[in-house]
Amino acid sequence: MAIAGMVAAGLTLQPAHAFLARPALFAAIGAATKPPAGWQQFCAENADECRPGTDQVRDVVLTPEKLQELYAVNKYVNDRVVWTSDDALYGKAERWTLPLDRGDCEDFALLKRKLLARAGWPQGSLLITTVEEPGPGRGRHAVLTVRTDRGEMILDNQTPEILFWYETNYRYLSRQSASDPNVWVSFGTEQPKPAIAPTER
Nearest to 161 by CA among 149, 172, 169: 169
pLDDT band at residue 194 under the 50/70/90 scheme: confident
Per the model's pLDDT, the better-predicted residue between 201 and 39 turns out to be 39
Please write the tens of the pLDDT for every residue from 45-73.
999 999 887 766 678 899 889 999 999 99
CATH T-level assignment (fold) for domain 29-47+58-187: C8orf32 fold (3.10.620)
Dihedral pair phi/psi, residue 10, rounded to 5°? 125, 5
Question: Shortest CA distance to 128 belongs to which of 164, 182, 75?
Answer: 182
Interval 107-119: pLDDT, tens: 999 999 999 999 9
Write down the pTM of the prediction. 0.88
CA distances from 2 to 98, 108, 118, 148, 176 (A): 17, 17, 9, 21, 25
Q: Higher model confidence: residue 2 or residue 6?
A: 2
Domain spans in the chain, listed from the N-terminal domain onward: 29-47+58-187
